[in-house]
């Protein structure tokens, strides 16, 4: 991916990273539902990992049910495991995980991260590090539902304080507490 120039255009498509599980707190599913509905209401396309499991399925169904546009990308080897949601407006099957992540980010103007596990962290850090390297300038919004990502925020602050990353990394991240704030941050 080559360096993208800064854009002033409105955000039309958002890549959502989130858990393939629902997590322990029902607030996570509620936030996924609110985010899917909010994207649909704002006329913003949802780009995500095309699974029908966990928060991934929840955000996609909420967006679809509210009349929103959905774009899912899944690697062939996860079609069964993550219960591929084939009824999305756009459904893409890739050969590899790396291709999946590239297609998702390429087709989005911004990134929103809901609570999730190792896969979500991997995706978030790819978005952060690619931005750090100047490969894109897409906003990265972290939805800190009930403080789920607060330990991650502390770790990122620690990494910056210990001078293994610049303050620009912190400035590239938008922390919000609710799906409504995430939608507002995208405007």
Residue 123, interface with ligand AMP (CB under 6 A)? yes
CA distances from 186 to 10, 13, 109, 112 (A): 8, 10, 9, 9
User: Left, alpha or beta for 61 (phi > 0: left; psi -120 to 50: alpha)?
Assistant: alpha
Q: How far is CA 90 from the centre of its chain?
A: 17
User: How far is residue 187's CA from residue 177's CA, in Å, rounded to a whole number?
Assistant: 16
Residue 21 vs 102, nearer CB to ligand AMP: 21
- Interacting residue with ligand AMP among 109, 119, 138, 179 (CB under 6 A): 119
Residue 153, interface with ligand AMP (CB under 6 A)? no
| Shortest CB 136 distance to ligand AMP, Å | 17
> Applying CB under 6 A, what is the total number of residues that bind ligand AMP?
15
- Interacting residue with ligand AMP among 8, 118, 171, 187 (CB under 6 A): 118
From residue 3 to residue 32, what is the string marking binding to ligand AMP with x (rule CB under 6 A)?
----------------xxx-----------
User: How far is residue 126's CA from residue 120's CA, in Å, rounded to a whole number?
Assistant: 10
């Amino acid at each position: 991916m080559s360096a993208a120039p800064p854009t002033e255009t409105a955000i039309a498509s958002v890549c959502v990273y989130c858990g393939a599980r629902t997590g322990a707190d029902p607030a996570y599913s509620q936030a996924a539902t609110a985010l899917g509905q909010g994207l649909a209401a704002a006329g913003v396309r949802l780009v995500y990992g095309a699974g029908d499991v966990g928060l991934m399925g929840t955000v996609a169904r909420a967006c679809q049910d509210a009349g929103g546009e959905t774009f899912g990308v899944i690697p062939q080897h996860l079609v069964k495991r993550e219960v591929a949601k084939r009824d999305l407006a756009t459904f893409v099957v890739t050969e590899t995980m790396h291709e999946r992540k590239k297609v998702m980010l390429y087709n989005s103007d911004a990134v929103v991260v809901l609570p999730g596990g190792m896969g979500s962290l991997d995706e978030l850090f790819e978005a952060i590090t690619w931005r750090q390297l100047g490969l894109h300038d897409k906003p990265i919004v972290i939805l800190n539902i009930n403080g789920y990502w607060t330990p991650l925020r502390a770790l990122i602050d620690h990494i910056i304080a210990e001078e293994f990353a610049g303050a620009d990394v912190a400035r590239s991240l938008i922390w919000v507490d609710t799906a409504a704030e995430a939608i507002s941050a995208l405007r």
